[in-house]
């Protein structure tokens, strides 16, 4: 490599960075910003530390300061969405009667001991009465008038342990036309409480979306509505009820933000009897569940990535390692190409961690660089082609929103969600990109087209209507293979529901499904697990799927039956110790620990490692157990004039020139990697020569390093 000049000392650069940060001109508009590829959320006005240069700023929180905060980001060239909590927030005006003259504290979610459930202080989780929906709609009106292009109502959450407030008792009476029952008294009462909670937040969201729709009709605007939400898997694991797939029945819902991050995905689970954090695997399944929520609905989903997490007691190495795992998990979903690159950027680039510890440190410079390189690469993920190297594809595990309905006393499903992870992890650990498939949505046209084998249990969940059994039976008869794992011991089989005509018959959900398939218990033989049904087949393992998560030999037995089912579908069985996906010129890979599959994957060629703040070229990359990889393949870059390949800042090309407008998070180290076969005669930043420029002649790459400022500057190359 040719080194052009040494870098100026940090102490010399810092005053220059701060001076530039005071400059007022906004960043020039990116013509592709209308695609809204990336976004981030912040409750603060614009600041150098929050200047991520995504397409969209999600300005958080309704209230008097909202219009001014929105304007501060708009003036800097961002598209503006507004986000606020739907279940909690700074909603004291509602609680204490300043909204409508009535005190509404009795609408705060309350547990069996009479304790109000809080998000901190008097920021309570709400039982959303209709007047609470009216309150939210009035608050959102402020955002509409201030020019928001979309509104996001995040986290419709009702705790499973709640259901004891006077407000909830009133809603029970109105919904069921009967007196309230203690949710923990019987499984019927717990089931009914969960169904009501599920309905109440759907109603609240519909109220606000109706308000936005009315505003659109009146003004001719097209303001969109989104629901940022945790995954079904996480909400069930954390014992929370949320509308999830039922939002498809809400008019005016344009999609979701999949709130998956280290904090959700590090929740421990069991595989082969070992309980521990499996951040990558859990995140992969969580993102997959969210993608399946919108498949065939015409709606969109953004994937959240968080470079730290809500728990401030971890160190930067922990945050970085887990972020790389969740980031790779999100990129292994090629159907999705929109990302929330960070929540609360000020706490990332301005915080010190572990918070409160004597050795708390600000973000390491190399991590700040890596983050910005990746954040800007995420804007390029809508690629025309992709290619997998992994285990067998086309395998799904059916999940229903009712996973959230059986999570409390008097009889809770497995606390570690073994009824799901016992079915999913044996496949995923063999390199099979198993997909959570939303049972509630399978009647949508084309929803099951990509599935060859489906795995189902009714332990811990139940079908919401008979139509899903009709669709499953049709799918099997057309060639699908259904693998059922269930021991019939779930007490919720007996709740008064559609499958037993309100408790008047002894029918349970699994027998209703068998009837739709035209099979009976005695048809299943132990020596021959698969039973032909039309062109397809069904198998029944008469044991709890939790066993497969708790016992190594049981896990292997399940995997062997799954292999038989896959081969029955006419699909070759393949195991790997990795998941590898090419998206255009990018490679995304995860090496799997605990994998029974042997061998290792080695990529050869010329790759830029986007997790390396130095952006070094590597000719060989091993996808080893536990590794997380995000690469740019130089062999897939077309030759031509100078082009930015990766950058730790926004680099917007100026038409017809070898110049770019650059801007980033203030006072962070930037690197810009440019395709350039020749050494330029000069490299300048706002007309001043850049001290640190290196040319890699062998690979035709130019490395330009400087410190970011939060105001735009012109980076220019001259070859004269």
Q: Is the pLDDT of residue 16 over 80?
A: no
- The enclosing H or E element of 41 equals strand 38-42
pLDDT level of residue 296 (50, 70, 90 thresholds): confident
Coil vs helix vs strand at 607: strand
pLDDT level of residue 30 (50, 70, 90 thresholds): confident
pLDDT per residue as tens digits for the range 368-391: 999 999 999 999 999 999 999 999
Q: What is the average pLDDT across 555-577?
A: 97
| DSSP-assigned letter for residue 559 | H
Cβ(151)–Cβ(226) below 8 Å: yes
Phi/psi at 507 (5° precision): -65, 140
Q: What is the pLDDT of residue 12?
A: 29
Tokens linked to 177 = 């036309």
Cβ(581)–Cβ(495) below 8 Å: no
Coil vs helix vs strand at 269: strand
- 461 vs 402: CA distance, rounded Å: 5
| Cβ neighbours around 310 below 10 Å, total | 12
Pick the closest to residue 535 from 506, 568, 493, 509 (CA basis). Answer: 568
Q: What is the pLDDT of residue 422?
A: 98
- 218 vs 239: CA distance, rounded Å: 41
- The enclosing H or E element of 421 equals helix 418-428
Cβ(693)–Cβ(5) below 8 Å: yes
- The enclosing H or E element of 228 equals strand 224-229
Coil vs helix vs strand at 74: helix
Q: What is the pLDDT of residue 528?
A: 79
Q: What is the average pLDDT across 48-60?
A: 97
Tokens linked to 163 = 């259901």
**Interacting residues of 701 by C-beta distance below 8 A, sequence separation 6+:** 617, 645, 673, 674, 675, 676, 695
Q: What is the average pLDDT across 110-127?
A: 97
For the chain, what's the residue count?
720
Q: Is the pLDDT of residue 239 over 60?
A: yes
Instruction: Please name the residue that has the structure tokens 């999600």.
Output: 58
Q: What is the pLDDT of residue 3?
A: 37
Q: Which residues of 682-711 are buried (b: 16+ CB within 10 A; e: fewer)?
A: ebbbeeeebbbbbbeeeebbbbbbbbbbbb
Q: What is the pLDDT of residue 9?
A: 28
Cβ(59)–Cβ(78) below 8 Å: no
pLDDT per residue as tens digits for the range 664-677: 999 999 999 999 99
Q: Is the pLDDT of residue 652 over 70?
A: yes
Q: Which residues of 207-218 are buried (b: 16+ CB within 10 A; e: fewer)?
A: bbbbbbeebbee
Omega before 410 within 30 of 0, i.e. cis:
yes
Maximum CA extent, the chain: 88
Which residues on adjacent β-strands are paired with residue 124? 118
Coil vs helix vs strand at 532: strand
Q: What is the pLDDT of residue 11?
A: 31
Phi/psi at 368 (5° precision): -60, -40
pLDDT level of residue 26 (50, 70, 90 thresholds): low
- 284 vs 233: CA distance, rounded Å: 11
pLDDT per residue as tens digits for the range 404-421: 999 999 999 999 999 999
Omega before 354 within 30 of 0, i.e. cis:
yes
pLDDT per residue as tens digits for the range 708-719: 999 999 999 999
| Cβ neighbours around 613 below 10 Å, total | 20
Phi/psi at 318 (5° precision): -60, -45
Q: What is the average pLDDT across 567-580?
A: 97
Relative orientation angle of helices 552-568 and 418-428, to the nearest 10 degrees: 70
Cβ(108)–Cβ(70) below 8 Å: no
Q: Is the pLDDT of residue 28 over 80?
A: no
- 382 vs 337: CA distance, rounded Å: 5
| Cβ neighbours around 502 below 10 Å, total | 10
Q: Which of 97-101, 268-272, 363-367, 386-390 has the lowest mean pLDDT?
A: 97-101
Whole-number Cα distances in Å, 328 to 160, 267, 333:
31, 18, 9
Whole-number Cα distances in Å, 38 to 206, 631, 671:
26, 19, 20
- 227 vs 690: CA distance, rounded Å: 44
pLDDT level of residue 333 (50, 70, 90 thresholds): very high
Mind listing the domains of the chain with CATH numbers?
389-568 (3.40.50), 578-636 (no CATH)
Tokens linked to 655 = 């038409």
Coil vs helix vs strand at 279: helix
Q: Is the pLDDT of residue 188 over 90?
A: yes
Pick the closest to residue 414 from 494, 423, 291 (CA basis). Answer: 423
Cβ(187)–Cβ(495) below 8 Å: yes
Cβ(128)–Cβ(201) below 8 Å: yes
**Interacting residues of 201 by C-beta distance below 8 A, sequence separation 6+:** 86, 87, 128, 156, 157, 158, 242, 243
CB neighbour class for 505 (10 Å; exposed up to 12, middle 13-18, buried from 19): exposed
Q: How far is CA 524 from the centre of its chain?
A: 39
Cβ(292)–Cβ(435) below 8 Å: yes
Q: Is the pLDDT of residue 73 over 90?
A: yes
Instruction: Please name the residue that has the structure tokens 């980031």.
Output: 327
Instruction: Please name the residue that has the structure tokens 């983050």.
Output: 371
Tokens linked to 90 = 């700074």
Percent of the chain with pLDDT over 70: 96
């Amino acid at each position: 490599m040719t080194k052009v000049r040494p870098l100026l000392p940090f102490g010399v650069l810092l005053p220059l960075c701060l001076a530039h940060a005071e400059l007022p001109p906004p960043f020039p508009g990116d013509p592709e910003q209308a695609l809204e590829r990336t976004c981030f959320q912040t409750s603060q006005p614009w600041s150098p530390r929050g200047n991520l240069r995504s397409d969209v700023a999600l300005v958080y929180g309704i209230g008097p300061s909202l219009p001014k905060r929105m304007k501060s980001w708009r003036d800097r060239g961002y598209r503006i969405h507004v986000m606020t909590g739907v279940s909690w927030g700074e909603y004291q005006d509602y609680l204490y009667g300043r909204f409508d003259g009535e005190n509404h504290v009795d609408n705060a979610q309350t547990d069996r001991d009479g304790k109000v459930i809080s998000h901190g202080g008097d920021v309570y989780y709400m039982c959303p009465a209709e007047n609470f929906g009216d309150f939210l709609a009035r608050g959102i009106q402020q955002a509409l008038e201030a020019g928001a292009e979309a509104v996001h109502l995040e986290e419709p959450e009702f705790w499973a342990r709640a259901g004891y407030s006077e407000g909830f008792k009133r809603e029970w009476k109105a919904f069921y036309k009967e007196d309230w029952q203690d949710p923990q008294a019987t499984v019927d009462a717990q089931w009914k409480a969960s169904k009501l909670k599920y309905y109440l937040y759907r109603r609240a969201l519909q109220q606000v979306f109706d308000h936005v729709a009315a505003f659109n009709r009146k003004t001719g605007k097209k303001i969109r509505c989104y629901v940022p939400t945790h995954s079904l898997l996480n909400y069930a694991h954390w014992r929370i009820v949320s509308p999830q797939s039922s939002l498809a029945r809400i008019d005016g819902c344009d999609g979701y933000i999949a709130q998956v991050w280290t904090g959700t995905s590090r929740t421990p689970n069991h595989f082969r009897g070992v309980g521990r954090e499996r951040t990558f695997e859990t995140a992969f399944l969580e993102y997959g569940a969210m993608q399946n929520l919108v498949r065939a609905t015409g709606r969109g989903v953004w994937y959240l990535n968080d470079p730290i997490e809500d728990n401030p007691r971890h160190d930067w190495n922990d945050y970085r390692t887990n972020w790389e795992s969740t980031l790779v998990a999100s990129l292994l979903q090629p159907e999705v190409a929109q990302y929330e690159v960070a929540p609360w950027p000020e706490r990332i680039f301005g915080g010190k961690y572990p918070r409160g510890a004597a050795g708390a440190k600000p973000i390491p410079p190399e991590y700040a660089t890596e983050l910005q390189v990746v954040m800007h690469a995420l804007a390029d993920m809508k690629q025309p082609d992709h290619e997998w190297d992994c285990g067998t594809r086309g395998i799904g595990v059916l999940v229903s929103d009712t996973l959230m309905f059986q999570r409390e006393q008097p009889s809770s499903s497995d606390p570690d969600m073994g009824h799901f992870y016992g079915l999913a992890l044996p496949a995923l650990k063999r390199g099979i990109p198993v997909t959570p498939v939303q049972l509630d949505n399978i009647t949508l046209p084309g929803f099951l087209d990509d599935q060859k084998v489906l795995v189902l249990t009714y332990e811990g969940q139940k079908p919401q209507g008979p139509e899903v059994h009709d669709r499953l039976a049709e799918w099997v008869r057309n060639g699908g293979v259904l693998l059922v794992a269930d021991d019939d011991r779930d007490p919720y089989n007996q709740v008064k529901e559609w499958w037993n005509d309100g408790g008047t018959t002894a029918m349970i959900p699994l027998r209703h499904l068998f009837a739709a398939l035209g099979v009976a218990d005695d048809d299943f033989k132990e020596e021959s697990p698969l039973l032909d049904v039309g062109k397809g087949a069904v198998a029944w393992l008469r044991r709890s799927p939790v066993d497969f998560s708790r016992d190594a030999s049981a896990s292997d037995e399940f995997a062997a039956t799954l292999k038989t089912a896959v081969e029955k579908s006419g699909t070759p069985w393949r195991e790997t110790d990795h998941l590898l996906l090419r998206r255009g010129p990018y490679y995304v890979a995860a090496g799997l620990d605990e994998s029974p599959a042997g061998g290792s994957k080695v990529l050869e060629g010329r790759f830029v490692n986007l997790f390396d703040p130095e952006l070094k070229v590597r000719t060989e990359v091993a996808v080893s157990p536990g590794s997380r990889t995000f690469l740019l393949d130089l062999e897939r870059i077309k030759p031509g004039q100078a082009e930015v390949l990766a950058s730790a800042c926004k680099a917007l090309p100026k038409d017809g020139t070898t110049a770019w407008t650059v801007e980033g998070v203030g006072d962070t180290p930037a690197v810009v990697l440019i395709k350039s076969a020749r050494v330029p005669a000069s490299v300048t930043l706002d007309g001043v020569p850049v001290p640190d420029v290196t040319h890699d002649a062998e690979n035709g790459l130019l490395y330009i390093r400087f410190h970011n400022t939060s105001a735009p500057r012109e980076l220019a190359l001259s070859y004269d």
